[in-house]
Amino acid sequence: MDFSHFLNYKNSSIKAVFAFSMLFLSFNSYARQQNQDIQEVVKEEVTTGTHEEKSEKFDPTVVILEHIGDSHSWHLWGHTSIPLPVILFTPSGLEIFSSANLLNEHHEAIPYKGKNYTYLNEEEHIVVLGNDGKVNEEVSSKIIDFSITKNVAALFISVIVLVLIFTKVANSYKNRIGKAPKGLQSWIEPIIIFIRDDIARPNIGYKFEKFMPLLLTVFFFIWINNLMGLVPLFPGSANVTGNIAVTLVLSVIILIVVNINGNKYYWGHIFKPDVPFWLLPIMWVVEVIGIFSKPFALMIRLFANITAGHIIVLSLISLIFIFKTLAMAPVSISFVIFMDVLELLVAFLQAFIFTMLAALFIGMAVEEHHH
């Protein structure tokens, strides 16, 4: 396929954008076709057992899923990565070792003989190898992985960053009582006031103060993790808020907070809705599903938005490798820059939406009806 004539458009930006989108669409179909080819190749490899072609072929799906997924070591560049602790609860007891043991100098997974078993990192799942060198499915299914993975480490970093930022801000409030905000404080304060006056107060009502710490923490936690995820270098690069486990925890916390604070009107609305009595059993089912579907939507929304952003950025970068030409780089890079700027907005927007909806759900639970 020859796309060079598309690159000759220089006269107007609209034409350029149109050309780029045409390119993108064509690449998409091309990439899909390529994918199928690769899958066929992989299948062939599996059946024939040849590994020669593997290093030559580039599979964007594998690369992208690897990047947005979690991993037991923090990959920096080439064959360099930061080893992270692997913590396993095995049927024979606790096992802690460095993830460096699971990789050889070529960055390939190798088995490691631990205290109790021999472990292997099989696509980021730690499995137990039997004496015959094959995966021991029975023991493997029983081990519980509490490793400090890349996402956990990134999570810790952002927690530390948040604590540092906000203790500094709190200190400047202590040192400058009654004065106008300055520096970092003046950057954070409008956001805090925005959350208080535009999210908490209108959605929760006069009881909003009790929920302010939760809402502020949720907002800044999501936001900082979204932003860190956009940074492709070491302290960033992890897809924390695009991981379903993280969004699950956040929404479960919201679920618990909403239902603990639900007043009699909230529960009354669930168990004694204003419907004919024969509809009650259906309503109970619907309302109970509703209790869980609201935080479930929160979980999926954040996870999907952030993951989608990462996938798009990584796909655009992958184009360079799919076409195996540097001429593709300017196109990819300009799209990636565009997407990154958009993701900056999405990072804030998703943090805002999550906080907003959390406030809304809490507000619905603590609202006092006067029928």
Partner 1 sequence: MDLVTPSIGLVFWTAVSFLILIVLLKKLAWKPVLGAIHERELSIEDALNKADLAREEMARLSNENEALLKQARVERDEILKEAKELKDQIVADAKNAAQEEGAKMIEKARIEINNQKIAALREVKNQVASLSLDIAEKVLRKQFDDKQKQDALVGDLLKDVKLN
Residues that bind partner 1 (CB under 8 A): 65, 68-70, 87, 123-124, 144-149, 151-152, 155-156, 159, 162-163, 166-167, 169-170, 173-174, 177-178, 189, 192-193, 196, 209, 212-214, 216-217, 220-221, 243-246, 248-250, 253, 303, 307
Q: How far is the CB of 371 from partner 1 (least distance, A)?
A: 34
Q: How far is the CB of 176 from partner 1 (least distance, A)?
A: 9
CB 117 within 8 A of CB 90: yes
Nearer to partner 1, 14 or 177 (CB): 177
CB 84 within 8 A of CB 153: yes
Nearer to partner 1, 152 or 314 (CB): 152
Q: How far is the CB of 43 from partner 1 (least distance, A)?
A: 19
Nearer to partner 1, 33 or 171 (CB): 171
Exposure on the CB side of residue 42, measured as CA atoms within 13 A: 11
Nearer to partner 1, 97 or 220 (CB): 220
State whether the Cα torsion 227-230-236-240 is positive or negative. positive
Whole-angstrom CA distances from 226 to 74, 239, 344, 358 are 18, 8, 8, 18
Q: How far is the CB of 150 from partner 1 (least distance, A)?
A: 10
What one-letter code names the amino acid at 99?
A: S
Those residues whose C-beta lies under 8 Å from the C-beta of residue 82, and which sit 6 or more positions away, are: 73, 74, 76, 153, 234
Among residues 283, 256, 268, 223, which one has the least CA distance to residue 361? 256
Phi first, then psi: give them for residue 97, nearest 5 degrees. -155, 165
> Between vectors from CA 30 to CA 26 and to CA 32, what angle results, nearest 5°?
120
CA–centroid distance for 195 within its chain: 23
Nearer to partner 1, 7 or 312 (CB): 312
Nearer to partner 1, 257 or 357 (CB): 257
Nearer to partner 1, 186 or 325 (CB): 186
What does the alpha-carbon distance between residue 67 and residue 224 come to, in Å, rounded to a whole number? 19
Q: How far is the CB of 246 from partner 1 (least distance, A)?
A: 5
Q: How far is the CB of 190 from partner 1 (least distance, A)?
A: 11
Q: How far is the CB of 109 from partner 1 (least distance, A)?
A: 16
Q: How far is the CB of 341 from partner 1 (least distance, A)?
A: 25
Nearer to partner 1, 16 or 148 (CB): 148
Question: Directed axis angle between helix 212-230 and helix 244-261, to 10°?
Answer: 170
CB 12 within 8 A of CB 18: no
Nearer to partner 1, 110 or 249 (CB): 249
What does the alpha-carbon distance between residue 128 and residue 226 come to, in Å, rounded to a whole number? 34
Structure tokens given for 219: 């907002």
Q: How far is the CB of 155 from partner 1 (least distance, A)?
A: 5
What does the alpha-carbon distance between residue 154 and residue 234 come to, in Å, rounded to a whole number? 9
